[in-house]
Structure 1
Amino acid sequence: LELAELIRKRAGDNKYNLVQALNMARELANLLDEAQNKDVALEKLQEIMPDDFSDYWQQIVDFLKVVTEVWQQKKADEGIVEPVERRNQLLRNAAEYWRANPPKNPVIIAGTTGTVNATIELISSVIAAEKGYLVLHGLDRNLSQKDFREIDESHPQYNLANMLRSLKYEPQQVQQWQDFEITAREKLISASLFSAEKSHEWRDVDYSLGAGKMSLINARNIEEEATAIALALREVLQVPNKRAMLVTNNRNLARRVALKMRLWKININDSAGQEMLTLPSANFLIHLAEMAESALGPLKVLAFFKHPFVPVEYKAKIREVEIEKLRGLRQDNLCLADLQIEIEGFEEFAALFKRKNIRFRELLDEHLKLAENIALKGSLWDGYGKKLAEFLASLRADISEDYQIDPILYPEILRSFFMAESWYPEFGQHPRLDILSPIEARLLGADMVIIAGLNEGNMPQLPSNDSFLNQQIRRQLGLDLLERRIGQQAHDFELMAQTDELILSRSLKEDGSPALPSRFLESLRAVTDIDDNQRYISLANSWQHPESIMPCAQPAPKPPVSARPQALHVTSISKLMRDPYVVYANKILWLKKLDDIDEELSPADFGNFVHSAIEDFARKNSDNLEDLLSCGREILKDKYDGKLGVETFWWPRFVRIAEWLVERQGRQDGKKILIEASESWLIKTARGDFTLSAKADRVEIGDEITIIDYKTGGVPSKKDVEAGLEPQLPLEAIIFGKKYGKKTRDMQYWQVKGLVNDVAKIHSVSQKDKSCEDIAAEAEVGVTALVEKFYDENTPYLATPRPTVALKYNDYEHLIRNREWDF
């Protein structure tokens, strides 16, 4: 936090908010730790930065003064010692003491690769003593002295070789701790990780013996991989005293495996722990803060009140008001009273978010007080919630009393803290199974090792680009190149892969996209064949899938005639032709789509607004532009007042549409004009009567009639109208033609977009070789036949019988589940 505040002050003008500054502070802290590990003074940047570098790099140098000058001054003023500095000083103090007073008892240093300079100094003082020892775990005895001198930073032996050089030793001078032969597996792994220049040395060597008891799981996806691994681990427990460990960098995979092990009531130890954010108590606090900050935003309200720590009486109230209060367009000034809920202290807590700045401690205290007031008794801090309580107490103590934040950022700041902190179960973990990271696994042993997630990006984890320094500058400063991290991971892989019983695992796809196999795995497969372990994949599939599947036919509901609709609007005829199931669900089952939660304005809302304004205008029997604009204003005030984008985008479009419509209104030429007119037609069939109703946007009546439909979006094609797939206008022409005893002159779509360069267009559906009267006559025959067809109880309401002409928008698509029948 302190480093983040220094960044914000340095940048000035509120360039970064606190969340952004925290992320940058973490990057800076990592760079600072790395520099301290290598005893690099970042102040040297100013000296080595070439003058011909772009201004961007000069800005980087200036920015890094946050740590090279400002932070160093703050440390000096307040007597602060950073963790890495303290560790380095302790190591150097021990080294200095042992140089002056060589230890008389044995001192053994083991498990290090010497990547920290202070560690090298300590090692140097220990091995200078008579009884000092350095154990080099994993030193490759297959490499020659020449090989060690030529390896690059991405080689697994680079760090060990570099440490020996620092200590002025050659690898050949290292004595054997125990007498044993180099195994076939060691030879295989060593050969597979040779540099490309040495590949000719193993082409003619048979390394197949080293692949014994080594197998590869090729899963289709991460879910199948996790299931196969869980089965392999469960099988280990069938053998008394046998131990196994799963090693992976893929946290998603590790979590999935741990969850699957719980199916057998096995809690597997995961050394990485879990983010504090995974605790139910942490989620409760985050949801509560977000609900208050969003001024009872519907999504945040539902997220909070569905939490298991919320009392059941509150959940019941939310279910009662959800459709009315939380779905559809957001209601203005929503309060808890509107939701029929009373929570003491909530309004006061929510009011804190309206301040410009607030003390972090004050906001946190009020937050925790309210959370304890709402949560079920004994839920918030019980169990692992105690770990969250301890963390929050520590956080509160570390932050000064006067430290202020923008309250709007409070939920995100809290989330950032919870994501950066981990918690670990204290008991109840299985003693023979572990999930470990590579750096931990290399120092431990097990009877079986599973190295999982062997895809590029996971193993090895590709180092992210340094946010501040490029490779050239890192080298000049004396910092490790990023490739060295790949070499470290290669060393981990080299040690883990030497386990006798080894399972390698990867998924062919990650996040739905093909994944590249790990370079370590590809190197192994280049040297020798690896058994394809289909056994666990087969078990995984048989576990999750039945032995046989009895497919059923696609649903074809055939309700009795008495239950079938005896009246429809003309707009439903297209649905009956394209997707009869939609009519079945809507008119027979009476299923209605719920409004979306916290719905945003859509193009359909704009279309409804235009239609409503025109309908109100028609009732005034006026041709005055101001009257139409007044109708529009009233509707906006009643339904859309304060909604984002209405004044900025909707109103200018509506004004242009209104001007165009009023100008068209003046061209009546003695015609009678009907606006939003409703009529119906009784269709008589052999099986019964059927009523077809219509509400036409505009009907012009003279010697003949013209049917007009307003569209603020796209218009149906002439081809679809002629084919009968969009029969709205032809059917309206029939209905109004029968009413007024007149033929159809034209059928038009008035596409009123209201855009600056595209206010409106008129699209006629008439054809060169077919008049509108002919199209209407064909529609009359077609709709009569369609009605008779669906008055037959043997006619099913099929879902999308012709996929090529399926509805573009379908509210019942999730019920239809077409893909289940595509096969």
Structure 2
Amino acid sequence: MNLYSIAPHTPFLHCLVEAVMDGRLLGGWDRTGPFWLSDVTIILPTRRAQDRLADAFAAHPDFTGALPDLRTFGGEAGDEEPFLPPFDAAPLPGRASGLQRRLKLSSLVAAWAHTSEGRQAFATPPTAAEIFSMADSLGMLIDDLAIEERSPADVAGLGAGMAQELGDYWQQTLKFLGIALDAWPAWLADQGLADAAQLRGLRLDRQAGAAGFLYGDRPVIAAGSTGSIPATARLLGTIATLPRGAVVLPGLDLDITPPMHEALLDPLANAHGHPQYGLAQLLRRFGAGVGQVTELCAADHPRTRLVNLALAPTAQTALWSEQRFDATTLSAALDGVSIIRARNEDDEARAMALAGRAALENGKSVGIITPDRNLARRIAAELKRFDIVVDDAAGTPLYHAPAGRLARQVLNLVEGGCAAVDLLALLRNRATTLGSERGALLALADDIDLGLLRGQRPAPGMAGLRSILAAHLAGTLNRPARKLSPARGAEISALFDRLETAIAPLVALRERPDLPASDLARALGAALEAISPDASLAGGAELAAWVDSMATLAGEGYRFSPFGLDDVLAALMTGIEVRHRVPEDRRTDIAIWGQLEARLMSPDVLILGALNEDKWPGAADPGPWLSRGMRLGAGLEPPERQQGLAAHDFAQGLGNAEVILAYADRVGSSPSLPSRLLQRLDAFIGEDASQALRARGQGWLDAARRVDAVASVEPAPRPVPNPPVHMRPRKLSVTEVETLMRSPYDLYAKHVLRLRPLDALGEDPDARERGTIIHAIFARFVDENHDPADPGAFERLIEIANEEFAGLDAIGERRDIWLKRFATAAAQFLEFEQGRAHRVLRRRAEVDGRWDLKLPEPFAITGQADRVDLLHDGTLEILDFKTGSPPSPGTMRAFEAPQLPVEALMAVHGGLRDVAPAKTSALTYIKIGLGPDAFKPSGFALPEGMSVSDVADEVFRRMQLQIDYFLLRQHPLPSRLLPVKGQRFAGAYDHLARVAEWTAVDGEEEP
């Protein structure tokens, strides 16, 4: 049996080429003549390795132009079967698609989930998306059974063999599996189909059966496989016994001791997570030992020995104190190794990208390996900063590709009832055309945004949008941010027509009680074709193929209610990857790989990213259908087997001459631990060496942090516009008097630049709007002269509330909540009014006012007082109802809350409509709410020794000075002259004044 191994520190494909070209793997095969190499067959794990091996042969100085016959293990039928000899063998069945299996199994899962036994297995009834996801996980269990050559009977036997150990949940699950695992193979047999995993095993067995006939005494080499699949192991065993057959294993530890080798084979030792576990199992299948394996390119390296010792089985770690290297050997072993310990994924990706860029500048090839696809995308984005375009070789899930994002936006639009945010997100997607040119469509989107949606709340659906458009064109829309012409309105109406036609199939689905997945795919495909016929959209071809595949499965699978469709779409698209189009001039010196794509690759610099626990290796999740113990009982490998493969990938990668290991202290929003593999390495080499490796990587982190840093920060100057005096306002509202005191810049932005804040798009009613409505309710009650003590007063307040809240019918649930809460506020309001009725002669609500000041130039103060009550003593009480908090007593005593004192001045000068001139004896704040302080009067905090009139006079003096200085003279208008202490929200114009820039830099604390 010809067994060889290539150590991790030896470039695998280069060594393989050398061993073929010098005849070491050929068993004395004649190497004369120009075409001798074409007689050699080499079988590899992946097509990527196949391509790289062809390049390596072509680069060899003795290459004559004829390549070996290069194949892959269990390749597609179209690649392999034409080369098999014509001996009698039954034709292979057709392949069942993943979609077929997902839909078929979803029906079984749903039927079980809705039985009494199935309902006990769920805390809440599973959603449609969860049903499809569970069907996928059931399919993975079926694949595991096929790959490891176990049968449903092995699972069924668990009920008897482990009856005492299994709880009710697992017993119920086994009953379902007994049905599902029999039903699916029966359906496949009836259709003449097989799963992909089953077909791969069949093709591997056919390769093994044909090997003796096909190769005879010619050289055939199987290289790079660990034989983790039993059928692959059989093919390797067959090749190893051929006259000139050879098996080349990747990274077998030839120094492993017999006791360690036996421990790896011991089923009770739980060695599945060890990097050598798979190779040890393979040798056992061969009936061979480590001593029968030859190192193909013999060259000892301390790095390989160090990694093998660091990742030794747990029982062997007790020997570390004797096995640790001396300083010289340790230095040689770690030469070329660095560790990047990043704060977060952003730092990690940038540091890895910079390390790759530096290697390219030095003429080195770069390979980046990460199992985290999000990190891969981050790294690709960082490399684009330097015009280095590289895509993740693993591709992008269709659900996250541009075509998938467009599909999700269409679904969100339909499910959200054409909500403002969803509508504009779709219209502003670069792929959306709806029969228009992109520039014209974007202009229409802006007009829809500003003319119809800002500050408005249309009813759901296209009918609500049309109603808003009609109101705008009729001039009845409340203060639109942009005025639209009738011609523009006609264009928008035509766009709405096209959009309504496009989404009509999906809207129709929403009216149905349930539907199959194929109907969703068909309706979505039709909508996307009308919205974006762009054939070049990334993922468009894959999405179209998905729609076509779903069409062939019409009516199949679980029927679900048309809700949560975005999650359903994610489940239905699982496993569909969008491979990036490779430009002809793409770089070949840098690549981003997943763990599978990276196997057998040996670039000059290898960067391993996402070395965090539960990332590399991933979590050992047995899935929802069998526990770990049940998997072992059924003869399946436990989930730790995948961790063993990840550990082998780590050991192979660490054998590269120059390698950078990277991890982050935080992943997402949570703290994260370094990979157990990295922790093992740290523990073996010791604290000093571990810190030295991180010190080497620190340079990349420092460089990453400098990318967006600046050498010095120059404070942005506080904006101090100084417009001509004649452009400044000659009228202020009572609330703007405080604005003049605190931030004159805001008056400049509002009155000189004529800028008004836009309401947030699709903003839900908030406390401010609720307060406005409640003010209006109480005002109507007062203006209609209702007596708070009248027995019908409460019912009348509720009637008014129903009328005022009617405008919120589009958000009925929130409207009902607010109405229910208002009932409590109404009772408190009436109790408050009854308690002060003996002092009040007449009430007036929402009193408009104007006060013309005698200044060098005409100037007016305008405003509206919430309440002005005439008291029996002839004085006035001015009340301000607040849903928020009133000013603090300190602010009032410092004359920094001028609104109520200014209203008192307006009252004494006859500036309030239908209110005779009179002095004000009380200024009162009333908090509206449901808490203990609701409707408790809070009087204006007067400075010691001063009356309301005195405070009003002082406010008037200060107001005159402010108006004269800032509005009637040529002085700058600064921002945040007197900021409110403790304010937790930005002012309407703070972003325009770039407040965050100059307040953050000059050390000023946020108020």
What range is the shorter-chain TM-score in?
0.7 to 0.9
1:752 to 920, 924, 928: 928
- CA deviations 1:300-351 (Å, max 9, x no partner) are 2112211223123333323222223233343125347544223183374333
Q: Does the 8 Å contact 1:329/1:601 carry over to 2?
A: no
Partner of 1:589: 753
- CA deviations 1:556-604 (Å, max 9, x no partner) are 3344444443332233344444544444433443322212222212122
- CA deviations 1:745-778 (Å, max 9, x no partner) are 43322223257x8864333345796676265555
* Cα distance in 2, alignment partners of residues 383 and 473 from structure 1: 43
Provide the secondary structure at the position in 2 that maps to 1:445.
Answer: coil
Aligned: 1:308 with 2:465? no
1:762 to 909, 926, 937: 937
1:643 to 788, 806, 811: 811
Partner of 1:345: 501
Mark the CA change 1:167 to 1:724 in structure 2 (over 3 Å): closer, same or farther. Answer: farther
Mark the CA change 1:27 to 1:777 in structure 2 (over 3 Å): closer, same or farther. Answer: farther
Aligned: 1:705 with 2:880? no
**CA RMSD across the alignment:** 3.7
Partner of 1:24: 134
Partner of 1:671: 841
Partner of 1:504: 661
Q: Does the 8 Å contact 2:519/2:554 carry over to 1?
A: no
* Cα distance in 1, alignment partners of residues 870 and 905 from structure 2: 14
Q: Does the 8 Å contact 2:275/2:645 carry over to 1?
A: yes
Letter in 1 for 2:829: L
1:145 to 243, 258, 264: 258
Q: What is the Cα deviation at residue 375 of structure 1?
A: 3.3
Aligned length: 816
* Cα distance in 2, alignment partners of residues 329 and 796 from structure 1: 33
Aligned: 1:354 with 2:546? no
Unaligned 5+ segments in structure 2 are 1-102, 120-124, 265-270, 470-491, 911-915, 1002-1007
5 Å-filtered alignment, 1:173-572, equals 173-178=292-297, 180-194=298-312, 195=314, 196-203=317-324, 205-206=326-327, 207-219=330-342, 221-238=344-361, 242-262=364-384, 266-268=388-390, 270-309=392-431, 310=433, 311=436, 312=438, 313-332=440-459, 333-335=461-463, 337=466, 338=469, 339-340=492-493, 341=495, 342-343=497-498, 345-346=501-502, 348-349=504-505, 350-358=507-515, 360-361=517-518, 364-375=521-532, 379-380=534-535, 385-400=540-555, 406-418=561-573, 420-428=575-583, 429-464=586-621, 466-507=623-664, 509-511=666-668, 515-526=672-683, 527=685, 528=689, 529-530=692-693, 532-533=696-697, 536=700, 544=708, 550-572=714-736
Mark the CA change 1:48 to 1:96 in structure 2 (over 3 Å): closer, same or farther. Answer: farther
* Cα distance in 1, alignment partners of residues 359 and 743 from structure 2: 54
Provide the secondary structure at the position in 2 that maps to 1:701.
Answer: strand
Q: Does the 8 Å contact 2:521/2:550 carry over to 1?
A: no
Aligned: 1:733 with 2:855? no
Q: Does the 8 Å contact 1:357/1:404 carry over to 2?
A: yes
* Cα distance in 1, alignment partners of residues 974 and 162 from structure 2: 75
1:55 to 164, 168, 181: 168
Q: What is the Cα deviation at residue 422 of structure 1?
A: 0.7
Q: Does the 8 Å contact 2:403/2:537 carry over to 1?
A: no
* Cα distance in 2, alignment partners of residues 262 and 92 from structure 1: 45
Provide the secondary structure at the position in 2 that maps to 1:356.
Answer: coil
Q: What is the Cα deviation at residue 493 of structure 1?
A: 1.0
Mark the CA change 1:743 to 1:664 in structure 2 (over 3 Å): closer, same or farther. Answer: same
* Cα distance in 1, alignment partners of residues 768 and 712 from structure 2: 46
* Cα distance in 1, alignment partners of residues 277 and 261 from structure 2: 8
Q: What is the Cα deviation at residue 74 of structure 1?
A: 4.0
Partner of 1:12: 114
Q: What is the Cα deviation at residue 37 of structure 1?
A: 2.9
* Cα distance in 2, alignment partners of residues 490 and 347 from structure 1: 49
Q: Does the 8 Å contact 1:328/1:597 carry over to 2?
A: yes
Letter in 2 for 1:135: V
Mark the CA change 1:214 to 1:361 in structure 2 (over 3 Å): closer, same or farther. Answer: closer
* Cα distance in 1, alignment partners of residues 384 and 775 from structure 2: 57
Q: Does the 8 Å contact 2:622/2:638 carry over to 1?
A: no
Q: Does the 8 Å contact 1:185/1:211 carry over to 2?
A: yes
Q: What is the Cα deviation at residue 434 of structure 1?
A: 1.8
* Cα distance in 1, alignment partners of residues 736 and 844 from structure 2: 22
* Cα distance in 2, alignment partners of residues 81 and 562 from structure 1: 85
Partner of 1:799: 976
Aligned: 1:609 with 2:773? yes
Identify the range of structure 1 (210-219 vs 435-444) with the bigger mean alpha-carbon deviation.
Answer: 210-219
Letter in 2 for 1:176: E
Partner of 1:652: 820
Identify the range of structure 1 (20-29 vs 798-807) with the bigger mean alpha-carbon deviation.
Answer: 798-807
* Cα distance in 1, alignment partners of residues 503 and 173 from structure 2: 45
* Cα distance in 2, alignment partners of residues 594 and 673 from structure 1: 35
* Cα distance in 1, alignment partners of residues 615 and 503 from structure 2: 46
Partner of 1:119: 232
Q: What is the Cα deviation at residue 435 of structure 1?
A: 1.4
Q: What is the Cα deviation at residue 251 of structure 1?
A: 1.6
Q: Does the 8 Å contact 1:381/1:389 carry over to 2?
A: no
Q: What is the Cα deviation at residue 31 of structure 1?
A: 2.7
Q: Does the 8 Å contact 1:574/1:727 carry over to 2?
A: yes
Aligned: 1:110 with 2:223? yes
Mark the CA change 1:144 to 1:580 in structure 2 (over 3 Å): closer, same or farther. Answer: farther
Provide the secondary structure at the position in 1 that maps to 2:126.
Answer: coil
Letter in 1 for 2:847: A
Provide the secondary structure at the position in 2 that maps to 1:2.
Answer: helix
* Cα distance in 2, alignment partners of residues 576 and 652 from structure 1: 39
Letter in 2 for 1:653: R
Provide the secondary structure at the position in 2 that maps to 1:314.
Answer: helix
* Cα distance in 1, alignment partners of residues 516 and 161 from structure 2: 42
Letter in 2 for 1:810: G
Provide the secondary structure at the position in 2 that maps to 1:134.
Answer: strand
* Cα distance in 2, alignment partners of residues 481 and 651 from structure 1: 57
Q: Give the fraction of aligned pairs with identical amino acids, expressed as a percent.
A: 27
Q: What is the Cα deviation at residue 650 of structure 1?
A: 1.9
Letter in 1 for 2:453: L
Identify the range of structure 1 (222-231 vs 155-164) with the bigger mean alpha-carbon deviation.
Answer: 222-231
- CA deviations 1:245-278 (Å, max 9, x no partner) are 1111222232233344455655435320122245
Q: What is the Cα deviation at residue 608 of structure 1?
A: 1.0
Q: Does the 8 Å contact 1:578/1:805 carry over to 2?
A: no
* Cα distance in 1, alignment partners of residues 527 and 595 from structure 2: 43
Partner of 1:37: 147
Letter in 2 for 1:421: I
Q: Does the 8 Å contact 1:733/1:744 carry over to 2?
A: yes
* Cα distance in 1, alignment partners of residues 272 and 605 from structure 2: 30
Q: Does the 8 Å contact 2:522/2:551 carry over to 1?
A: no
Partner of 2:75: none
Mark the CA change 1:689 to 1:188 in structure 2 (over 3 Å): closer, same or farther. Answer: farther
Unaligned 5+ segments in structure 1 are none
State TM-score, norm by structure 1.
0.88
* Cα distance in 2, alignment partners of residues 99 and 769 from structure 1: 108
Letter in 1 for 2:200: R
Provide the secondary structure at the position in 2 that maps to 1:113.
Answer: coil
Q: What is the Cα deviation at residue 27 of structure 1?
A: 1.9
State TM-score, norm by structure 2.
0.73
Q: What is the Cα deviation at residue 540 of structure 1?
A: 5.1
Identify the range of structure 1 (746-755 vs 1-10) with the bigger mean alpha-carbon deviation.
Answer: 746-755
Partner of 1:170: 289
1:3 to 68, 92, 105: 105
Provide the secondary structure at the position in 2 that maps to 1:21.
Answer: helix
* Cα distance in 1, alignment partners of residues 569 and 325 from structure 2: 59
Letter in 2 for 1:650: W
